[in-house]
A and B are shown apart, each in its own frame.
Chain A
Amino acid sequence: MSPNDPWYEIVGPDSPLDQGDLILRCPILTWDQTKPLTVTKAGDEEFLREHIASFRADVLVFTQACDLEHHKVRNVVLGPHRPVSEIRVAWDARMREMGQTPSAKAWRRYCEDIADGYVWNQIFLNSFDSTGLSTELRVVDFHDLFTVPRDFLESLLRQRQEARLRLRPPYREHLSQAFARFFMRVGLPQPVSPAW
């Protein structure tokens, strides 16, 4: 155990759901975007039935702690996160698609840009190492968000009977702020003229 880890605390399966909880292999229900998503005929119910996708993802609870504590929400907002080693593989492939060389130096610069906040939709979660519970560095992606009913999620955690990691303040607020920056950003039709 690492009770003094600045980033995380370990909470038991019966601990109430809270902002910053890391839930691994969480079942998600969403749209299947591997099929064409254009409605071509009347009857959107059938279209919807054909486009349901369900998968497991490592997620982090974005919903505000006070909303959860005071039972203000029925659904919980979740953001996916992946180990940085998996991100590296996806990044390598994307760089090649873009005609770029995925060198070690470029990867280092990419990670530095995430850490410095230049990549709006991504933020790091620190690594954690403890007996029975550890994770490498992870990357949260704000681009895809999911909602899951709170009752479902809490019953899943009770049924699993596994300890989980929880981001401590101010790291969870730092993540929340990064998400707010991503969500509230405004692009100008014409940027400032560089008269300098």
Chain B
Amino acid sequence: MIVNLKLSVETVKRLGDKAAREGQTLEGLLQNLAEHEAGASRNAKPSDVEPEDDEDRPWRGLFVLDYPREEIFAVEHEVNVNALPPLPAEIRIDARRMADESE
């Protein structure tokens, strides 16, 4: 979690010195620190992570992607169809057997 605090004069001076030593501005240094903190917070326990707006993450939940597929029978589709085994016969009622049972 990132908490914005009002920095003391002394802290600002020390950070300004650090920024000068590293050849960057104070704003740049603070930005780098904020990004570093954000990275650290991602590695924190889930309960410590500040939830973000789901609108920024439209993939959350079920996110389905269409991948390219390597078709096997794209050219020889007829071969594939003809290779199908015949479907089993439908259930048939034997009229003679029904007549026997009714007697």
Contact = CB atoms under 8 A, between A and B. Distances in A.
Contacts of B64: 121, 141, 143
Interface string A32-65: 0000000000000100111011111100000000
For this complex, into which size category does the number of interface residues on chain A fall? 20 to 34
B84 interface: yes
B72 interface: yes
Interface residues of B, number: 24
B22 interface: no
Nearest to B60: A118
A45 B70 contact: no
Contact of B61 (A27, A86, A120): A120
B71 A55 contact: yes
Given A45-B87, A100-B58, A118-B57, A91 B65 contact: yes
Interface string B21-52: 00000000000000000000010001000000
A113 interface: yes
Contact of B62 (A45, A56, A121): A121
A119 B60 contact: yes
Contact of B65 (A27, A54, A57, A87): A87
Closest 10 CB pairs of A and B: A90-B65, A55-B69, A54-B72, A56-B70, A54-B73, A118-B60, A55-B71, A143-B64, A49-B81, A119-B63
